[in-house]
Amino acid sequence: MSIRHFDWFKKHETEDEVLHKLRRLYGVACERLALKPDGGFIEAAMAADPEEARRDPVRRLARHLFTYKLAMPSGAWGLLGLGLLHSVLLEVAREDGKKAAPVRIPRAEAHDLAGLASRLLLPEVDQKDVRRAAAFVEFLLRTKGPKGFTAFGRNMGVDGSVDAASQAATGLSAGALELKWQDALKPDASDKGPVYLVLWVMRAAASHKMLLFFFLLANAVQILYAVKVPVWLQGLFDDGIKPSNVEVIRTYLSYLIWGFLASSAFGVLLDYTVAKLGPRILNETRARMFKKINNIDARDLASADNDEIIADFSNDLTVVEKAVIWAVPGLFSKGLMLIGSVVVAFTLDRNLAIATLATLIIAFWLPRGFSRRAVRFNYERGAEDSKLARIVKETLLMQRVIRIFGLRDLQSRFFTSQLGRLFKSSYHQYFSSGLVGRTTSFGVSAAQLVVIALGAVQSVDGLVSSGTIVAFITLLLTIGGAAGFIGAQLPLLIQGIGGLERVEALLAKPDAAPDPQTPEPIDGPVHALRFDEVSFSYEGGITAIDKISLSIDCPKRVMVVGPSGSGKSTILRLIENQFSPSSGHVRLNGVDLRLLGEAQIRSLISLVPQEAQLFQTSVRENIRMGKLDATDAEVEAAAKAADIHDIIMALSDGYDTNVGEGGNKLSGGQRQRIAIARAILRDPQILLLDEATSALDPASREAVEATLRKVTAGRTVVAITHELTQCEHADLIYVVRNGRLEESGTHASLLAADGVYADLWQRSMIAGSEGVVPRDQLLDRLRKRPVLQGVPESFLERLLARMTVESVAADTVLIEERKPAGRMIFITQGEAQQSIRLSDGTWMPVAVLEAGDAVGEYAALETAEEFTRVVTRKACRLLTIDQTSLRALLDSEPEIKDRIVAALAARHEAMMEHYAWQKLQQQAQPQ
């Protein structure tokens, strides 16, 4: 959180002082919502759920207020409940008693209310989302008041529907409400106007001097013709037609004809230059973007959203291209034409020029309200389009499930319903946009009538000539056409600005460190790889690895092991030189990798990743990616070494078979063998294996591991793995945990040390490679559990006999906070996340549980509740015993029961205090 909500918990430890603070919180909330505080409300809230009141009195009070005083449905708690709580706590946390400043968020974050409400109903929520919710709650209270806030919440229902709530409380759709929310926010410093895009195009066009010259020349001729036509018409009428001067008539007609021909010819030249200049500017931008993604710093790339980058190349560049080719050239030409026409008007007649300017200002002001509505409805239309696209995408991706479970009619109903909403938003969009153009045309036509009427009066009085009136009408047509074109192109220009900002954000990302001007050479083969006090952190945040020093004398087979999130993959990325250390040095033969240069490092190191990533081309070319100048014979030799040659030859086109998108025409084992062939084709001195067999089935894994042992003989291999059976024949094992190097040695020496590696080994032996638990190994592991140490063997045998094997999917809740454990669980395969809930509804991760860990041991206690929540991160295989069976077993052995229950009760109390203190510390930290 961005505030120190819970400082007072550490300052005021008595119940009276805590109650005083809760009263202040309740008072502020009632003031915000125009409610009358009830005496005894806080006491009633605490009594409604004493356990929650003891653990989290703030949340208990907020829940009670929301449910009983406001009568809000459960679906409103995430968006409105957490948002209000965050906003109120900002004020409560102030020690000076003053009101807190409004929650401020960037305009770009004031969107997707439906997604925000949905995410905030999940068990684990992002604290940034809570802050966005607080900003929305403050906006809703500021614009619609407490009644609007209450109406919005009560119409959200149990599913948190934002559209229905918005219509009921504000009369607007969710999309339109989001737009009003954005309008109410202070513009970001980065907000750009149309000038920003125009200047960007001018800078980009400056490098194409000849095309730019022709573009300016063609515009100059067209603008000159447009502003001269009224002057020529004035001369034609006043000096030619009125006095019947044939020579003058012939002269002005020749001006008009030759001017028209020149303008038309240069108009073709203008179209030609725009058609060439626009795509060149866009292609240069695409090239810069593609170069950027190939050179971007790997640290930034690791945290980037790939879908957003792809959208930059497709959606964003599409709107930029339309703006560059259509909007900007037209805005430039018509803008100058508009200015020139107004200047000419003043040279013809000052009074008529002032009347023209005044009426045009009014004409362009009239559609202002319609224009805002048109922008709003355009925003809504985009949202409805994306919803329709999501249904189509989901239907394509889920076709197998849809057909098996007979869901075609259901999906059709969803699609038809969305079509109705799309029709409604489209109708509003097109009608309001039409009104903008219609109102502008009406204003310009009215301006023309005013000028004609004024000119007629002045003409009767002999103040202006008929030629001047004709000239002014022509100018009005020119001005109206130019202004209408600019108005029509502004939405396209605004879309282009948004797309360009996202493209520029990508281009602004930092590049990786450049190669040294003179790379240091590696003399002879690599004989040493060293880490010297190396530290690294992602985005300057939590340290991924901390002051790690290790030394590998080549060639050796080295394994890097440790729990999930310990820093193993980061070590591999540092060896690849994808990441640069925050401090310290990674050296080959004593030379820092950063001094070797990219080409030399790539010639020495190769990689087999966890998931084989293949290009959509032939098998031959995929293998050749490892060495672009390799001959066909070398490619086939690498394939034979990887034991994939015979399989390739059995394919329809042999080595010329296209592998499909991502290699989807091949099996996982075949893709992995092609990746191995690609890696060894380069004949690297150091081969990196990043969980190279973890994604394969047991049979494929065993076969690929045999191939790897064959092709890595005589090379230095650095591998990370969770399969510790691969470590038995390693020359050296490094054990990392929490970013630090804990142990190093051989398999035998590390087991003898009985440290971190020995514990990991025991866990892996419980889990087995496929979650199949050998009975003797499991009994040995149960024997080593602290609460079961010293328990008779017969009791362990009976305990094991009552356990059952269970498989669960990812995101399955194993243990729920504040509820008694219904069973004791051993994780034999997979991972689970252990978290504690903070008062604002967010979940703070405290541990990742892996194969061999146990949860729910407090099921042996009659009244104990769990103080953490455990949810599977991956599909897991479990060994469980339900609470009834566990207690029955304990009841049959009273002495064992007393000892186990006493140990668990003491541990439960200690761990509850530990996590409670950890929760308070976390919530007291500024963001």
* CA–CA distance, 263 with 218 (Å, rounded to integer): 8
Alpha-carbon separation of residue 247 from 236, 237, 241, 253, 576 (angstroms)? 10, 13, 10, 10, 85
Q: Which token pair is 267? A: 């108009």
Label residue 700 by pLDDT band (50, 70, 90): low
Mean pLDDT of 293-300: 76
Taking only the tens place, the pLDDT of each residue in 526-546 is 889 999 999 887 654 457 888
Q: What's the DSSP call for residue 511?
A: B
Query: pLDDT grade, residue 265 (50/70/90)?
Result: very high
The half-sphere exposure of 489 on its side-chain side, counting CA atoms within 13 A, is 24
CB 221, CB 266: distance < 8 Å? yes
Q: What's 296's DSSP letter?
A: B
- Would you say 198 and 331 are in contact if contact means Cβ atoms under 8 Å apart? yes
Residue boundaries of the structural domains of the chain? 7-184, 192-348, 350-463, 528-757, 770-923
Chain position carrying tokens 């508009």 = 338
Q: Do residues 574 and 562 make contact, with C-beta atoms less than 8 angstroms apart?
A: no
**Local confidence band at 427 (pLDDT 50, 70, 90 cut-offs):** confident
**What is the pLDDT, as a whole number, of residue 769?**
45
Where does 528-757 sit in CATH, by number?
3.40.50.300
Is pTM beyond 0.85 here? Answer: no
Superfamily of domain 192-348: ABC transporter type 1, transmembrane domain (1.20.1560.10)
Q: For 5-26, what is the mean pLDDT?
A: 62
Is the link from the previous residue into 555 a cis peptide, with omega within 30 of 0? yes
Mean pLDDT of 618-626: 89
Look at residue 60 in the predicted model and tell me its pLDDT: 83
pLDDT of residue 559: 92
Residue 530: predicted pLDDT: 92
What phi, psi does 580 have (nearest 5°)? -105, 135
Residue 603: is its pLDDT beyond 50? yes
Q: Is the pLDDT of residue 187 over 60?
A: no
Residue 314: its pLDDT value, please? Answer: 76
285 vs 4 pLDDT, higher one = 285
Question: Span 704-721, mean pLDDT?
Answer: 84
Q: Which fold has domain 770-923?
A: Jelly Rolls (2.60.120)
Distance of CA 427 to the CA centre of its chain: 32
Rounded average pLDDT over 826-848:
77
Closest residue by Cα to residue 774 from 702, 708, 725, 713: 725
Whether the predicted pLDDT of 734 surpasses 90: yes
For 800-805, the CB contacts below 8 A with 24+ separation are 800/775, 802/881, 802/885, 802/886, 802/889, 803/879, 803/880, 803/881, 804/879, 804/880, 804/881, 805/877, 805/878, 805/879
Q: Please name the helix (run of DSSP H) or strand (run of DSSP E) that holds residue 434, with its range, or none.
A: helix 408-460
Q: Is the pLDDT of residue 926 over 60?
A: no
3-state secondary structure 593-618: HHHCCHHHHHHHEEEECCCCCCCCCE
* Average pLDDT, integer, range 155-181: 82
Lowest mean pLDDT among 193-197, 396-400, 885-889, 904-908: 396-400
pLDDT digits (tens, 9 = 90+) for 779-816: 766 776 666 777 888 888 788 777 777 778 888 888 88
Rounded Cα distance between 120 and 356, Å, is 56
Instruction: Work out the percent of the chain whose per-residue pLDDT is above 90.
Output: 7
- What's the whole-number average pLDDT of the chain? 79
One DSSP character per residue, 372-403 reads HHHHHHHHHHHHHHHHHHHHHHHHHHTHHHHH
pLDDT top residue among 540 and 492:
492
Higher pLDDT, 921 or 821: 821
**Considering only CA atoms, which of 512, 694, 712 is closest in space to residue 607?**
712
pLDDT of amino acid 862: 64
